[in-house]
């Protein structure tokens, strides 16, 4: 492609192959997503239970949501 005023070549990028790359990446992520393991297990209490008994472990994290919507 040339510019008629200056007779210089203008850059023109062909984006058609980028669609193929996008589709390949989409397929890879769709196949790989069910294979990842659940590393963190979450236990949420029901309405009637006020407490969950957890076994002591170094990596336990407790998150409390109070009635004024603050997180501790």
- Residue 71 forms part of a structural domain: no
CB of 3 within 8 A of CB of 10?
A: yes
Note the pLDDT of residue 71: 82
What residues make up the domain containing 23? Answer: 1-39
Contacts of 54 by beta carbon, 8 Å cutoff, 6+ apart: 43, 60, 62
Q: Is pLDDT at 45 greater than 80 in this prediction?
A: no
Whole-structure pTM value? 0.38
Q: Is residue 65 classed as helix, strand or coil in its secondary structure?
A: strand
- pLDDT level of residue 26 (50, 70, 90 thresholds): very high
Q: Is residue 14 classed as helix, strand or coil in its secondary structure?
A: coil
| Number of domains comprising the chain | 1
- Residue 68 forms part of a structural domain: no
Give the residue from 72, 70, 48 showing the smallest Cα distance to 62: 72
User: Residue range 36-49: average pLDDT?
Assistant: 67
CB of 52 within 8 A of CB of 43?
A: yes
Dump pLDDT digits (tens) for 2-22: 556 677 778 888 888 899 999
């Amino acid at each position: 492609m040339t510019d008629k005023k200056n007779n210089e070549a203008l850059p023109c990028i062909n984006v058609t192959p980028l669609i193929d790359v996008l589709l390949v990446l989409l397929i890879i992520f769709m196949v790989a997503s069910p294979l990842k393991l659940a590393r963190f297990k979450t236990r949420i209490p029901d309405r009637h239970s006020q407490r969950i008994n957890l076994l002591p472990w170094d990596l336990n994290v407790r998150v409390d949501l109070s009635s004024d919507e603050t997180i501790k």
